[in-house]
A and B are shown apart, each in its own frame.
Chain A
């Protein structure tokens, strides 16, 4: 059981038996469950899962139903990662004492959380897990907003986004702070593997998840989760938005090994102007008014300089 599941192509992948069930209450077109499926199907091993408070948690555990076919726990907004880390510590202790009933099984410990529960509220707890070096994986479903509670800004919300607590209007263009660079922060913790993924690049995602399972130590996965409700686009366009985010480099795909070695894992053949990514979402529509158009230019400059930075990091190997 402990050897890695072989997934050569999508046809082979499609023989997986899903361990996440339908009739959950996520919005139609929500990218959360696409990401969860891609993560869970990447392994055949047993799973110990947690979800911090957020869309995923409230929509998959509505009494009397559960959508999870594996051990699953939810405690609070902040401590999903710590709950899984505790389970991992107990597993290791029992293993050491020889008290596991099925020692040949090799469970995977995964904690799911939204950007609110990772970038803001649960940050200290994830930081603690990384510092203690638990063998867990923390997956962020980053939809750049507190979507569950009605669209308040989080520290992951990018500049210019109109949210309920930072609405755009005559006096404001919306969110004024830039998105927190969570990847760099987690890499600085010295974890063995930190990676950014997007659901449209499933093969890249599965490769990174499996690499995350194979390393010993805490793994941080930052997944772009397109939110049709709060980003204001048609539910059918979820994958189109994901394609735009990776091809405009607004969401570059890369990994950082041991906090140092940075590898860019996807280089778009034709880089699209970031304007197209912004234009596809209702939350940025005010940026196309004359008085706020300068922000689009700033967006492009920010994306370009970030891409240049990533390329230089990749070259320098430091």
Chain B
């Protein structure tokens, strides 16, 4: 279906979000859903990014501010814990870093090509002057 051009459909054709039947979408987490090839979940906007967020779980207090304010459903929270960033869907806007309340921040923006391990190793120290 995904290979069919937009003008090659028969009238009444359907593009479905999922393969097969899902009874309770609101109770099914993303990893348990059978996404179809027509759901934008299977696409990626990773090439939009100039900067990427890097998550340091040592300082995270699981306040979930980043989860609620992420416009791209890219903050993965499971069982009330923030567990990482979905790099296929993150556009690198930087809102998560701005709303992060910890000191030092648990999320920081780095250039897309930066090495995550190296950046985590030299994470900034606590800023004593900040309240």
Contact = CB atoms under 8 A, between A and B. Distances in A.
Interface of A: 10-26, 28-34, 37-38, 43-45, 60, 62-70, 199-200, 202, 234-240
7 contacts: A11-B62, A21-B40, A23-B72, A26-B71, A30-B71, A34-B68, A34-B70
B72 A44 contact: no
Contacts of A24: 40, 72
Contact of B40 (A34, A45, A67): A67
A239 B15 contact: no
Contacts, number: 143
Interface of B: 1-2, 4, 6, 15, 17-18, 25-30, 33, 37-45, 48, 62-65, 67-74, 77-80, 86, 88-95, 97-99, 109
Contact of B93 (A43, A64, A202, A236): A236
Contacts of B48: 28
B39 A22 contact: no
Q: Is the interface of A mostly helix, strand, loop or mixed?
A: loop
A14 B64 CA distance: 7
Q: Is the interface of B mostly helix, strand, loop or mixed?
A: loop
A22 B25 contact: no
Nearest to B69: A239
B92 A17 contact: no
Contacts of A28: 48, 71-72, 91-93
B25 A236 contact: no
A20 B17 contact: no
B53 to A, nearest CB: 10
Contacts of B80: 11-12, 14-15
Contacts of B28: 17
B73 A235 contact: no
Nearest to A37: B73
A236 B98 contact: yes
